[in-house]
Amino acid sequence: MKRTALFLIAFFVAFIFVSAEASAAYNYDPFGDAIASAEALIARKVVDSSNLLDREGESAGYVFGALADVFAHEDRVFIVDSENDAVVVLDDEYRFIAAFGRDEGAGKLKNPRGIYVTEDYIYVADYGNNRVAVFTHDYEFSWEATTPDDPSFKQDPADERGYDFKPLKLAVNDAGRIYVVADQIFEGIIDLNPDGSFSRYVGASTVTLSVWEAFWLLFTTETQRRAQGYRLATSFVNVNVDEKGHLYTLSGLSEGSRVIKKLNNKGYDILWRNGYVPPVGDVASIDGRVKVPTGPSQLVDIDVNESGTYCVLDKTRGRIFVYDFEGYLLYIGGQLGNIGGAANNQRSLFLSPEALCFHKDGILVVDSLNKNLVVMGYTEFASLVNAASDRYFKGEYDEAMELWEEVLVHNTNYYLAYAGIGKALLRAGDYRGAMVNCKLGHDRYNYSKAYKYYRYEKMTVIFPYIAATALGLAVFLFVRSLRTSVRREQEEENNE
């Protein structure tokens, strides 16, 4: 009877896990296995042509086409409509303000693909016009960056050796330098000077060969190698920039665990990957029990906030992965979501998600096939995680610990919360408590540090007693030895 009960309990737990894996929110444990998690992102609003209003509450009369990119700047949201050759501007309540780039003239866009907004300008990756088009904040065309002066590009329409300059995505740092991901360019990210002139390539990926390919090349002739074609480095998919000027990039699947990179000004990858799983999106294999597309995550967009937290969008399964500055996976959204509180599987919201960005208390996602903007809001659980990560990033460890404790109320198997509490206790000098929580959080590095300090702390407490005991023993042995020597000398004198 007892065995039967245990079997039924195990079966029930397994059934719950499988169901959670298929349809509910999840995360990954320190061993790389998918585990159930509290919901992090909920679809609060969907903006499309049917409900797009202007600031007076009237129908805007604009019909969305295929949407390619989204960017939030201060109190405005910019959406790239590649089908209508326009950039749509909304206010922070997602009401229509303007649509520019459609008028005839120098500012007319053609199949735009990407956008980046700074304090001074609005930069648009104008794919069809082979340029980066730059507009003022009054939506007037200002200037353009055309084909870079580099042999990779056609300097003349009759040139058959180079490629057309086809910008896909772009980012601009505080100094005005423009970083462009262009179609068919494998040398790296194009770095343009603030005036649009070509400077260099940044962060080119290295070409890697398998052991078999390297061995086979030893026995091939030059003619055979030419017949095999060129081995090209992985091209970049997207780019963004943080407040310090570091580039956050996305590459193809051949980069393995380094599909996300953080490049410094020398082009070196300095992204921290300290998390339980590598920052690649889904890490567990997707099997037939889960009714979603199979295969690895196809990451298509990335955004980073002031706390070093970055989010990436998986086009394969419409999921949003959010990581902290150390590379820990904070939570996953996009699997399930409710609109206005009504039960609705969020997978029906995304058909072909293209881009995302942080905005206010949530994340915005645009879909090219649904032709809409989905406003994803944080749940209480995600808000607590965000706040705790932000406090830890700023060095406010006590406040972070209190927030991590609240996170555990919502999700008791959230390992990162235990690790966060352990780090806070370590810095507070509670090494015993730090060891307990770091062990629960599978944080071996900080557990080792806590253990070292704990051992030292105990040794400093008991060392005086050990030293006093050792000294007393030494004195006792010395006195006894001295008395023994004196007694022997007296015995020898008496014998004489």
CATH number at residue 264: 2.120.10.30
Per-residue pLDDT for 15 more than 70? Answer: no
The tokens for 380 are 């209480």
pLDDT digits (tens, 9 = 90+) for 437-484: 999 999 999 999 998 887 877 777 676 767 778 778 888 887 788 788
The pLDDT value given to residue 485 = 79
412 within some domain: no
Distance between CA atoms of 203 and 206, rounded to whole angstroms? 9
Distance between CA atoms of 213 and 229, rounded to whole angstroms? 13
Residue type, 267: G
* Averaged pLDDT, 77-87: 98
pLDDT band at 486 (very low <50, low <70, confident <90, very high): confident
193 within some domain: yes
86 within some domain: yes
Length of the chain (residues): 496
* Bigger pLDDT: 169 vs 218: 169
Q: How many domains does the chain have?
A: 1
**Domain range enclosing 208:** 39-378
69 within some domain: yes
399 within some domain: no
pLDDT digits (tens, 9 = 90+) for 288-336: 555 667 778 999 999 999 999 999 999 988 999 999 999 999 999 985 3
435 within some domain: no
List alpha helices for 127-248, DSSP H.
211-217, 222-228
366 within some domain: yes
Distance between CA atoms of 131 and 113, rounded to whole angstroms? 11
Contact 172, 123 (CB under 8 A): yes
First vs last C-alpha separation in the chain = 92
234 within some domain: yes
Per-residue pLDDT for 175 more than 70? Answer: yes
Distance between CA atoms of 490 and 240, rounded to whole angstroms? 92
Per-residue pLDDT for 274 more than 50? Answer: yes
Q: Which of 163-172, 343-352, 414-423 has the lowest mean pLDDT?
A: 343-352
The tokens for 148 are 């870079």
The percent of residues above 70 in pLDDT, for the chain, comes to 82
Residue with tokens 């970055």: 310
